[in-house]
Structure 1
Amino acid sequence: MYRVLIVDDEPWVAYGLSKLINWEEHGFEVVGEAHDGLTAIELITQENPEVVISDIRMPGLDGIELLEEIRRRKLNATVVLVSGYSEFHYAQQALKLGAFDYLLKQVDKRALVETMSRLKEKLDDEQQMNREPDGFLNDLFDLLDYDSPVTIDHFLTSKGYRFQRPQYCIVSCQFPYATVSHSDQPITKEGIEYLSFRTGHNQTTLLCNYDDSHSPNAMNNWIVNHFADAVHVGGSTAVSKSALLSKLYREADIALFSSICNPALTIITYKDRITTPELSADLLLLELAIKEQRTSHVKELLASIGNRCIQQNLLVDQVTGMYNQIVSLLHKYYSLISTMRDVEFMTYDQVARQYGSYHQLFGWLEEVFGTQHETEWIVNNERVKEIMRFIDARYTEDIVLGDVAKHFSMSIGYLSSLIKKQTGKGYSEYITAKRIQRAKELLVNPTLSVQEVVQSVGYKDYFHFNKLFKKHVGLTPSKYRRL
């Protein structure tokens, strides 16, 4: 049973609300009443109820001030406010401050049941997360999901944090060692206030709050000074608190993977980069060369495009877009050649993990064109089985297609085609499916945290695995576990 405290300066109203529904039937029990805000805060501190239902207009400490005091003291109480029509603007303010809902006077029985039903579901979910070793991380998965509508302001308010500076950004860092867990409270260093989250085995993500009006380079200098031991750092754009948290995280993520693909740049900050006319011209010439199947010219253009991407410091999502555009051309003009037809489309994180640099990515495409006219020799069934056993024994390791091709002395293009014929999937797709299936099996074990499952199936980045799992299964790992 979740405990409820009812607060109203009119005792008969508080009593009537306590008798309006069968609270126990809906999973709640009324543990007390208070008739002013000051008494209410004392009872909340003593009794620690999970739910507070409070009138907005009260002497001494009104409902809004009561909500703020609960947040300031970090008390574990969800607040539902009651207001009249004339106080609707107060109710809107309350929702912005983190109130769960508001009810209009006189409180309707059906409306109260509906609100308490939704609230019980929320409290049940939180309770389940708190029982898991990484409950906070699971909650963060949903907040940083690309489809999440949560703003920075809403996130901070819901957690009871009060940041005062005008700019916000997210910084994601990869280290050569395992990172520490997240910080429950904001940390302030040299004028920068931040929250720290462990988003991978060796990755930390910070939500930073700062003011660059007096020193425009303050944030960049702070990153350089405090993350000297990071091997890759990606920073988002600077925004106000009304920006989406998920958008900011994606920008930092793209910048981080761009650093991975450009080892000469440890720190990259996200910003829109416009491709030069020369690069656009090369892409048009490449399409013509692919269409006319002029292999030597295609290889020259691929080398030129790869060099221009590096020279212009293009972000990894832009380069991945070009790569997928080239793959589309391969499928269009070389559909009869299996080594070309089976080249996979990729996401930006797959490009970074599988190739590690733009040079290697475009170098591999050059190799694909260089081997297009090779005679495809027959590989006997036993040899195919040996290749698949090799892959199946190592699918949780960071082994890329090029490593497998080298081990078996095959071209990457031919090996890719062979795997596609054997499994019906491309190499990356096959590895991902194996990892997802293994994760589903491990999630059944309640003693393993989601973090431990992610690491067991070969991922160091929890959030990208979470995204992959949701894409293939339709649910996040934590929600799948609760089925």
Structure 2
Amino acid sequence: MEKEQVIRQLRAQLHVNGHIIGASVGSGMTAKLATLGGADFLMVLSAGKYRIMGRSSFASYFCYGNNNEQVMEMGTREIFPVVRNRIPLLFGIMATDPTIQMYDYLNQIKTNGFSGIVNFPTVSLIDGNFRIALEQEGNTYNREIATIRLANHIGLLTMAFVTNREEAEKMLNAGADVICIHLGLTKGGLLGAKKFISLGEAKNLMNDIFAVCKQKNPDAIRMIYAGPATTLSDMHYLYKNTDCQGYIGGSTFDRIPIETSVLETVKAFKHHSEPSSDNPVHQLIDRNRGKGNVVDSIRQYIEAHYMEPIQLGDIALIAHMSPTYLSSRFKKEIGVSFTNYLLDYRMGKAKELLKNRLISCKESACKVGYGDYIQFSKMFKKHVGLSPKDYQAMYNNH
């Protein structure tokens, strides 16, 4: 697909659906399923191939193979044949590859049917003495910026992985069509990152970088990649509290579903039982037995019961944990306290309700778990800066 056509499609999705979804795929099967699931574009990264092999995404930073050759092979022989040009494919290019002439290689990428590029593996994820040594040899982030600029010149869609304001500003100056904040390796599952930033930290970073995007080029699409955001709850929180316009999943859309499905299916056959229930209360009990993350289960419980009274002490009893420990664990993983997270979620729901002129402020309060309207009004004004009536009037006057 031509760049202009892809951008038109992405903007149409933003207008109609409110956000866009990208998938970093490591095999023809995940590419086919992600396309059927409604992904707006696919990224072919060497990290995806290593994930399917049972390795960490960081394997793409080691000398196990030539990144650009792997991506070209995977894209042209495995991905294209199963998606048949029904969806844009972005090529994960290693801009510091000394074996290619970049202008010629970008034209080859375009000729082979890729709609665009993304700078991966990116130097921005490397730090310390190794980063210093790489830059002394000329392997710098500036080469990735130059590649984005050159790709724009020949008509390829350009997505830039960035990790801070400075990188975002430089990529915007180079003409990047999409700015994607890489939040680090994906948490969760057997191979997931054991160290990751909290959702609160991710939110602050996103607001910082997206402010630069909106100032320098409001037309640049704003997205994030993985890190601590691996569930719908994560993205609901980040969409409500930032100017994010889309999410790209790697492990979220291939490794974690495969781990979960294969593990649960084999266990079910082994023990002659059905997979565990999706009931949030059951999940809280299961999480205490080592089956996943209790914090994720708490957030799912909030999503299902936010309109009812919720006490952390009750949840702690169900999960057989102390309230103090559970509170500490929640804040450590999410970056905000349980109370503030619940408040943020309820106020986000209240704002959605108040945009509807057919519902009263008092009804909105009841629907988000506040029986006392005065208390609701006080908390809403403190959180949003306007009273519920003023907030509703602001939207109804547009």
Q: TM-score by structure 2 length?
A: 0.26
Q: TM-score by structure 1 length?
A: 0.21
